[in-house]
Structure 1
């Protein structure tokens, strides 16, 4: 018994799509772009505050490593209370 009808061809329909895609000329491929705003550029240029912050962080690291850094518990508690009562 023959299952395929007289008009049935044994071609894979996906093969046609693959051939069409290969035959098509390749268009210009778009690449990723990164744009930095003028404000961000100014922030990068004005890194004086960044340098001061890095120096402060380095000083704090040295104090912690040497054991000379002590936290004022009263001041910390007041800051925490102030934060949670104002928000």
Structure 2
């Protein structure tokens, strides 16, 4: 896999409450963002990999729905995670 256990724990610690907080919306959004960046880089070299392209579109949709959830739940948390990860919206 492209992320080791330690790297995932670092992401969850940075964006969640602690390293074991894998269920928080912020932690999941951070992991999805890492995977999206990884798959985007893969698709730049392998243009005809349609399975990966489909997976990428699905991941973007999942991240978007989590961001929408955060917008409805707590706008300040939404703004913080968007700023930290450098997302456009």
Q: Per the shorter chain, which TM-score range?
A: under 0.3
Whose helix proportion is higher, 1 or 2?
A: 2
In the superposition, the TM-score normalised over structure 1's length comes to 0.27
- Which protein has greater RCO, CA pairs closer than 8 Å, 6+ apart? 2
Point out the structure with max Rg over C-alpha. Answer: 1
In the superposition, the TM-score normalised over structure 2's length comes to 0.26
